[in-house]
Amino acid sequence: MYGYIPSYILENIAKAGIKEARLSVMQSGTTREKRAVKVVDMATLSGAAKQPSGTASREVYDCQNEWRQRVKLVRGEGGPATADKSVNNAYDFGGITRDYYKNVLGRNSIDNIGLDLILNVHFGEKYMNAFWDGDEMTFGDGDGDIFVNFEKSLDVVAHELTHGVTQFTADLVYKGQSGALNEHFSDVFGTAITQHYEKQTAEDADWLIGDEIMGPTLFGEALRSMSSPGTAYDNDLMGKDSQPDHMKDYYAGPDDNYGVHINSGIPNRAFYLTAMDIGTDKAALIWYHALQNLYPKAQFNDAVKVIARSAQILIKDQKVPKGSTQIVRAAFKAVGLPTP
Amino acid sequence: MNIDFEREGGYAPLRLKYRANTEELPRDVAEKILDLIDRSGILELKQEDIQSPAKYPDVFSYRITLSEDGGGKSLTFNDITAPDSLRPLLTFLQELALEKLRSGNR
């Protein structure tokens, strides 16, 4: 279907909220990109490779410090803990994230039909990063000085896995405001899942992203603050946190794909304000509902409308408190959204 | 040879830049860079040989520009599309960029 109908038509239908069109736009774009990059091995071509199980099974691979993914499978679903903490952390945090999506949000894994969770640890040499690439998650060990192992933190694992969820729902284009929303939703669920697991309330959470992977050189710093964007770090190595907390300070330059990790601070603070009012779990319910109704080129103003509408629907379903719609609007107004 | 290297993106906001002229570097550093450039085959690579770097969440994106005697080569790629042969050169350039940051030279 997606090969016959022009993509711009599909996107307009997706914007109108037609689920099948949204899936088609997403699948054609992402699958085509990923397939163009990844080399398919003979086992997969011949059918001898393991087929997706549809049971959301975890597979943890040790990349053995090579610049390749899926080098050696070291722990499968139900397998015993290994002597490698990185493997066990990736396994455990992948499971906690998967179980939150299933038990709290009713979602069956990343694609909602049980996609297996592939987690790669020890990628590259002193690799100071973690990413989602359309199929799987990959974590570096850091250099042990600035950053430690990236899978050490539940909010990092949940953040990356949520990029997958976004891919299979709104599929927000990773550039500009839609890209900042993509980053924002990953921070939202990274934080919500961490708070839920650690049984924290919005009031006693620290609302910091990445504080657990800072190494000895940057001890006490964090990568982002959802409660106070712009205050997470200030040091000679990283400079000063440049996230704005209001649209008046919106970054319009080309760096970072036109600010995907920068401008995410603005909606991040709106989520924090909402959560402080109705609780993080209720706020996350609203945001998850909205994520399923957003679309690839959605801008901040679009997200405000959709999130407020999601609050209305969930109030009607008695899943969030009355007054949540107004709380959401007030939270976004506090950060300067919507813009005229 | 002029080296202009940049890395951006990633989960953690640690942007790296490294610019140098090998004739102005300590001899051992210059020799290592030139050796890695030679072994990587980067001067023979064309941008069209590298898959178009799609915008995946949180991957690092790299740009390397090499120039000498009026000629030059500039390539962009990310962690998914980076040719394996470039990895040792990328690793060393990132180490040099980090050294500069640590010495307070942003």
Q: Indicate the range of A65-79, A213-227, B51-65 predicted with least confidence.
A: B51-65
Q: Please list the pLDDT of chain B residue by residue as tens digits (106 residues).
A: 999 999 999 999 788 999 999 999 999 999 999 999 999 999 999 998 887 766 789 999 999 999 998 888 899 999 989 999 999 999 999 999 999 888 876 5
Q: Is A148 on the interface with B (CB under 8 A)?
A: no
pLDDT for the residue numbered A10? 45
Among B11, B13, B82, select the one facing A150 at the smallest CB separation: B11
Q: Which residue of A has its CA nearest to B61?
A: A256
Torsion of CA B16, B19, B24, B26, to 10 degrees: 20
Is B11 in Cβ contact with A159 (below 8 Å)? yes
- Cα separation, A208 vs A270, in Å, equals 15
Alpha-carbon gap: A318 to the closest alpha carbon of chain B (Å): 34
Name the E strands within chain A: 58-62, 72-76, 117-121, 130-132, 137-139, 208-209, 224-225, 234-235, 239-240
Is A179 in Cβ contact with B59 (below 8 Å)? no
Alpha-carbon gap: A237 to the closest alpha carbon of chain B (Å): 6
**Between A64 and A27, where is the model more confident?**
A64
Is A174 in Cβ contact with B104 (below 8 Å)? no
Instruction: Specify whether the CB–CB gap between A267 and A245 falls below 8 A.
Output: no
Indicate the residue type of A6: P
Is A33 in Cβ contact with B57 (below 8 Å)? no
Residues of A marked active site are found at 160, 261
Instruction: Specify whether the CB–CB gap between A138 and A65 falls below 8 A.
Output: no
Question: At A208, is the pLDDT very low, low, confident or very high (cuts 50, 70, 90)?
Answer: very high
Is B55 in Cβ contact with A174 (below 8 Å)? yes
Q: What number of residues does chain A have?
A: 340
When the pLDDT of each residue in chain A is averaged and rounded to a whole number, the result is 88
Among A34, A163, A210, select the one facing B12 at the smallest CB separation: A210
pLDDT for the residue numbered A88? 98
Give the pLDDT confidence of A42-54 residue by residue, as tens digits: 444 444 444 555 8
Percent above pLDDT 70 for chain A: 84
Q: Which residue of B has its CA nearest to A34?
A: B54
Interface probe with A: pick from B8, B40, B49, B58, most Cβ of A within 10 Å: B58
Q: Enter the tokens of residue B47.
A: 């941008």
Helix (H) or strand (E) holding B4: strand B2-9
Alpha-carbon gap: B16 to the closest alpha carbon of chain A (Å): 10
Listing DSSP states for B77-101 in one string gives: EETTT--GGGHHHHHHHHHHHHHHH
Q: Enter the tokens of residue B37.
A: 């450039």
Percent above pLDDT 90 for chain A: 81
Of residues B88, B76, B79, the one with CA closest to residue B37: B88
Measured in degrees and rounded to the nearest 5, phi and psi for residue A8 equal: -70, -30
Instruction: Specify whether the CB–CB gap between A267 and A303 falls below 8 A.
Output: yes
Q: Which residue of A has its CA nearest to B7?
A: A256
Q: Enter the tokens of residue A64.
A: 């053995």
Average pLDDT for A237-247: 94
Contacts of A97 (CB under 8 A, 6+ apart): A154, A157, A158, A161, A162, A189, A193
Is A37 in Cβ contact with B51 (below 8 Å)? yes
Q: Enter the tokens of residue A273.
A: 């304000």
Indicate the residue type of B35: D
Complex-level ipTM: 0.91
Q: Which residue of A has its CA nearest to B80?
A: A37
Is B91 in Cβ contact with A160 (below 8 Å)? no
Give the pLDDT confidence of B15-42 residue by residue, as tens digits: 899 999 999 999 999 999 999 999 999 9
Q: Indicate the range of A17-26, A128-137, B69-78 predicted with least confidence.
A: A17-26
Contacts of B14 (CB under 8 A, 6+ apart): A128, A146, A237, A238
Of residues A238, A217, A87, A214, the one with CA closest to residue A155: A214
Q: Which residue of A has its CA nearest to B100?
A: A237
Instruction: Specify whether the CB–CB gap between A260 and A171 falls below 8 A.
Output: no
Listing DSSP states for A13-65 in one string gives: HHHTT-HHHHHHHHHHHHHHHHHHHSPPPHHHHHT-SPPP-SS--EEEEE-TT
Give the pLDDT confidence of A79-125 residue by residue, as tens digits: 999 999 999 999 999 999 999 999 999 999 999 999 999 999 999 99
- Cα separation, A299 vs A41, in Å, equals 39
Task: Identify the burial level of A246 via C-beta atoms within 10 angstroms of its C-beta, where 0-12 means exposed, 13-18 middle and 19 or more buried.
Answer: middle
Alpha-carbon gap: A306 to the closest alpha carbon of chain B (Å): 23
Instruction: Specify whether the CB–CB gap between B97 and B18 falls below 8 A.
Output: yes
Of residues A108, A97, A249, the one with CA closest to residue A188: A97
Is B101 in Cβ contact with A37 (below 8 Å)? no
Between A and B, how many residue pairs show a Cβ–Cβ distance under 8 A?
89
